[in-house]
Chains A and B, each alone.
Chain A
């Protein structure tokens, strides 16, 4: 009966109004978890993007650092300088709140870029495998199967190791971020490829694709113009959930010491630094970056879950 429930053709209203009234927005407005997650994500992303404007300190500028400010607990005044820090400082006197904002910048950048890379590779290969079939499909999907037998983080470490081995040492710190993106992106394309291949197989058998074929459209044009727009819904869902996974993967790699360098710390690097002080009483150095990571990953994940339900016509 979902069809009967659809809006009938409406009189021309403003575009914004139509979007607000659409089934998609309606389901968003009626999912409190999604709304809360959305705002958490927006606030965190804004915080990260606007870090240079809102962060009280620049943690990358040694000139503003005062080693005397080290280990200031959150909210308290420093015993020597009398400075106060919202979330305290780390061993070098860097403001934890500021390092989190700047760390999230790196985490989010790596996450988005890695997912974009995985998406481009995965969607392309999935489309090719699903539409062309035959040996193209066999090769692509076997490679995907083999890669799936390794944990993604292991694949990422492997790629990271190789990349690190071939970059000259003087560029290593600058290259680290890009190598991270490459490593995470290459370890994550399989999901996209599998889902797109499945969706492509379904769409390929539909008659609108046959109609395009008999007109004489080339396979490339059919994949791009006809099939791709119709397989994007699941891609969007996976991209959202992959973003959370990529951020965690980045944090894991950085925590293990193979990711972002301490000079440009991501959330994972901050957590690694923080855990050294966990048992000596300076809990905030670990706790707040970990909390930020948790909030970011969890809310993106919850948003992805809702998106999956909202875009799945069968669950409506």
Chain B
């Protein structure tokens, strides 16, 4: 394994021009994902987590566009690729798994046709070999009787099985990077556990780099190696998952962790962060979190929060929490 990360995002800025001004759903975001690593990206709705993932794979809907920064795939810049070039890269080098498996499967083709088509397009193999690989891919994601089910149509599968098919489809061209956007959100608890376990196994066995975008802290805790916490388009905190979740340095992360019902430990009331995430069109001055932050100082109100490379690299905060500081209710 070389030292070059599979995915390297540097100072990425995505902007959407609107009639009310320019919005920045992704604002100077930087992170790396190495081979065999799962990077969890968490945030609440509107934090820019999905937009960040879409920017990486070149799936931004107009008028959103990358205005600064770069995206490197195995050291090669891909953020300025367009049209066919990025399309070829998607599928071959990057696989995608979305929340709703039905949107990524063609209802009119059997899953075998879809798998072999993808394999033939991206790998230098013949028809028979492609079919063999398709069956192997289905077996790998745990679809029973793969050789028979390969001739079924997407609607003949249950939700969980369909998501397995999508994972097989994302992985069949042997990509280096998989971007999973809320892959378990639409699934039941028991099926969710199966999919999380499957993602982890594939990542480990294949050495694929995985970007796991989700709002579910529990899924992140179980699956991710490192976690990136997004708030209002910015990276609030980035670090090893155990460190970030048990010992948050950014007040937002700490508040988020404390407000989950699991952390209440029998108390009558949950801790809560006051207010809600600001809309992108109406960001407060200074650090976007300061109106909700109990530790906010004058500097937080005046200056935007530091980006990670200009502070300790862990929490984008002027006054990161120390171990003995705890958020109160």
Answer yes or no: A and B touching, Cβ < 8 Å: yes
In the complex, B255 has a CB within 8 A of chain A: no
- Segment touching A, from B12-20, B29-37, B143-151, B193-201: B12-20
Chain A residues engaging chain B, CB cutoff 8 angstroms = 1, 3-8, 26
Give the residues in chain A near B64, CB-CB below 8 Å.
Answer: 1
**A1, A3, A5, A8 interface centre (most CB from chain B within 10 Å):** A1
Interface residues of B (CB under 8 A from A): 16, 18-20, 23, 25, 46, 51, 64, 279-282
B20→A7 contact, CB < 8 A: yes
A8 to B282, CA, bound (A): 8
- Beyond A4-B46, A5-B23, 18 additional contacts (C-beta under 8 Å) are A1-B25, A1-B51, A1-B280, A3-B46, A3-B279, A4-B279, A4-B280, A4-B281, A5-B18, A5-B19, A5-B20, A5-B281, A6-B279, A7-B20, A8-B279, A8-B281, A8-B282, A26-B19
Q: Which residue of B lies closest to A1 (CB)?
A: B16
A53 to B14, CA, bound (A): 59
A-B contact pairs, 24 of them (CB 8 A): A1-B23, A1-B25, A1-B51, A1-B64, A1-B280, A3-B46, A3-B279, A4-B25, A4-B46, A4-B279, A4-B280, A4-B281, A5-B16, A5-B18, A5-B19, A5-B20, A5-B23, A5-B281, A6-B279, A6-B281, A7-B20, A8-B281, A8-B282, A26-B19
Cα distance, A147 to B183, chains bound together (Å): 47
Which A residues touch B46, using CB under 8 A? 3-4
Closest to A27 in B: B19
Shortest B20–chain A CB gap in Å is: 6
Closest residue on chain B to residue A23 by CB atoms? B19
* Chain B residues within an 8 Å CB radius of A7: 20
Complex contacts, B51 vs chain A, CB 8 Å:
1
For B23, list chain A residues within 8 Å (CB): 1, 4-5
A5 contact set on B, CB distance < 8 A: 16, 18-20, 23, 281
Q: Which 9 A-B pairs have the closest CB atoms?
A: A4-B280, A5-B18, A8-B282, A4-B279, A4-B281, A1-B16, A26-B19, A4-B23, A5-B20
B281 surroundings in chain A (CB, below 8 A): 4-6, 8
Contacting residues, chain A, for B280 (C-beta < 8 A) = 1, 4
Residue of A nearest to B19 (CB): A26
The docked-state distance in angstroms from the alpha carbon of A6 to that of B25 is 15
- Output the nearest chain A residue to B61 by Cβ-Cβ distance: A1
A2: nearest residue on chain B (CB-CB)? B18
How many Å from the CB of A10 to the closest CB on chain B? Answer: 11
- Bound complex: CA A288 to CA B257 (Å): 74
Cβ of B20: which chain A residues have Cβ within 8 Å of it? 5, 7
**CB-defined contacts of B19 to chain A, threshold 8 Å:** 5, 26
Chain B contacts for A8, CB-based, 8 A: 279, 281-282
Q: How far is the CA of A7 from the CA of B16 in the complex (A)?
A: 15
Which residues of B lie under 8 Å from residue A1 when comparing CB positions?
A: 16, 23, 25, 51, 64, 280
Contacts of A26 in B (CB 8 A): 19
Q: Which residue of B lies closest to A8 (CB)?
A: B282
CA distance in complex: A26, B19 (Å): 9
Once the chains are docked, how many angstroms separate the CA of A1 from the CA of B281?
Answer: 10
Residue of B nearest to A5 (CB): B18
Nearest chain B residue, comparing its CB with the CB of A30: B19
Nearest A residue (CB) for B21: A5
Identity of the chain B residue whose Cβ is nearest the Cβ of A21 in the assembled complex: B19
* Residue of A whose beta carbon sits closest to that of B51: A1
Task: Tell me how far the C-beta of B322 lies from the nearest C-beta in chain A, rounded to whole angstroms.
Answer: 34
A292 to B25, CA, bound (A): 50
Shortest Cβ distance from residue B5 to the other chain A in the assembled complex, whole angstroms: 29
When distances are taken between beta carbons in the complex, the residues of chain A under 8 Å from B25 are 1, 4
Q: Which residues of B contact A4 (CB under 8 A)?
A: 23, 25, 46, 279-281
Distance to closest chain A CB from B22 (angstroms): 11
- Closest B-chain residue to A26, C-beta based? B19
CA distance A26 to B281 in the complex (A): 17
Question: How far is the CB of A280 from the nearest CB of chain B, in Å?
Answer: 56
Could you tell me the distance between the alpha carbons of A1 and B14 in the complex, rounded to whole angstroms?
A: 12
A254→B281 CA distance, assembly (Å):
55
Q: In whole angstroms, what is the CA distance A26 to B25 when docked?
A: 23
Alpha-carbon distance between A7 and B25 when the two chains are bound, in angstroms: 17
A184 to chain B, nearest CB (A): 40
Give every chain B residue within 8 A of A3 (Cβ-Cβ).
Answer: 46, 279
When chains A and B are docked, how far (Å) is the Cα of A7 from the Cα of B281?
8
Min distance, Cβ B30 to any Cβ of chain A, angstroms: 22
Residues of B with C-beta under 8 A to A6: 279, 281
Question: How many whole Å from B270's CB to the nearest CB in chain A?
Answer: 25
The interface residues of chain A lying within 8 Å CB-to-CB of B16 are 1, 5
How many angstroms from the CA of A184 to the CA of B74 in the assembled complex? 66
Interface centre among A5, A6, A7, A26 (most CB of B within 10 A): A5
Q: Which residues of A contact B282 (CB under 8 A)?
A: 8
Shortest C-beta distance, A68 to chain B (Å), equals 61
Q: Cα distance A7–B23 when bound, in Å?
A: 13
Q: How far is the CB of A17 from chain B (nearest CB, A)?
A: 15
